Amino acid sequence: MGKLRRILLFVVLLSFVLQSPFTSKVAASSAEYPLALHFSIKLDAVTNRWSVNVTNVGSKPLFVIFSISPAPTLPAWTAENHTTLSPGSDALMAMRCNDPFQKVPCYLEKNKVYSLVYDAWTPNSMYSFSLAANVSASNRAYVFDTYPLMALKFSTSVYPGTWNVTVANVGTIKGKFQASMGYYGENNPAWFQMGSAMHNLNSGGRYSIMNKAFAPKIGPGWGATVDVVGYYSGRNGTCGWSATLDVEKLVTVK
């Protein structure tokens, strides 16, 4: 639930400087967090090659996809590469610019700005992360960390007709957070969904929703999905970035 909106939620501002706002020293506790990654990307117009070096420093296996396309116009082409990373593993993906969808070569222009879209998720899709940024084909490495900057935790319980959730921003930067709960009706195959308002939370902040009513009711033992999304964005001078972190839990009605 909510996974198809990952890429559509991004609005990229201007290109990153060499050291992006995401660059930081990864905390030792990242090994305890399911989705924590370190990666760098470099575009070289001279050789018409682009490369990504990515390390999974979290606790769960991750599937990751990187893509680049011309910015800011609608992409005439998209170059893409992907891999699966077990905890503690890394991968270096270096390739010539090629569009695997149109099956045609593409060409990088020196110092031209390109849109980077990066997605990662756990095998069960309970954790997913997406990032959008602009990078230039200047043969410089742009370095990014997801954790400890962006991280969230939540607790939740569902009863027949009522729902409780507490959301905490356990990352080091502020963000906007929204929780939702969805389920299939017991006597109706339709999907029902309800959500909370958006909440701005600084690092360490939290909010709770208690005894929120919903209808139609579902009985004990029935299943529901609670989804919390964190939205992050920022500027460094005239440079900007945007990202989302999506965490889901399957809950049994008490």
Give me the CATH number covering residue 239. Answer: 2.60.40
Q: Do 209 and 182 fall within a single domain?
A: yes
Whether residue 51 lies inside any domain: the answer is yes
Question: Which has the higher per-residue pLDDT, 45 or 135?
Answer: 45
- Judge whether 59 lies within some domain: yes
Q: Classify the phi-psi angles of 238: left when phi > 0, otherwise alpha if psi is within -120 to 50, otherwise beta.
A: alpha
- In the predicted model, what is the mean pLDDT of residues 44-61? 96
Q: Residue 9 falls within a domain, yes or no? A: no
- Banded model confidence at residue 100, pLDDT cuts 50, 70, 90: very high
Among 106, 129, 145, give the residue marking a domain's end: 145
| pLDDT on residue 5 | 37
221 and 137 in a common domain: no
**Residues 104 and 21 both lie in one domain:** yes
Same domain, 111 and 28: yes
Q: Say how far residue 125 (Cα) sits from the centre of its chain.
A: 11
Q: How far apart are CA 231 and CA 12, in angstroms?
A: 13
Whether residue 10 is contained in a domain is answered as no
Mark whether 139 and 28 lie in a shared domain.
yes
Q: Does residue 182 sit in the same domain as residue 244?
A: yes
pTM for the structure as a whole:
0.84
The pLDDT score that the predictor gives to residue 71 is 76
For residue 213, give the amino acid letter. Answer: A
Higher-scoring residue by pLDDT: 60, 2: 60
Together in a domain, 122 and 207 = no
233 domain residue, yes or no: yes
Say whether both 23 and 115 belong to one domain: yes
Q: Which residues of 53-76 are buried (b: 16+ CB within 10 A; e: fewer)?
A: bbbbbbebebebebbbbbbeeeee
Same domain, 30 and 120: yes
| Structural domain containing residue 31 | 15-145
Res. 239: pLDDT tops 90:
no
Of 109, 125, 145, which residue constitutes the final position of a domain?
A: 145
Q: Judge whether 59 and 87 are in contact, CB under 8 Å.
A: yes
Return the pLDDT at 76.
85
- Of 105, 122, 145, which residue sits at a domain end? 145
Q: How many domains does the chain have?
A: 2
Count CB-CB contacts under 10 A for residue 151.
25
Taking alpha carbons only, the member of 123, 118, 197 closest to residue 150 is 118
Q: Are 78 and 69 in contact (CB under 8 A)?
A: yes
Q: Does residue 20 have a pLDDT over 60?
A: no
What is the share, in percent, of the chain residues with pLDDT greater than 90?
72
Same domain, 141 and 172: no
Kindly report whether the peptide bond that precedes residue 148 is cis, defined as omega within 30 degrees of 0: yes
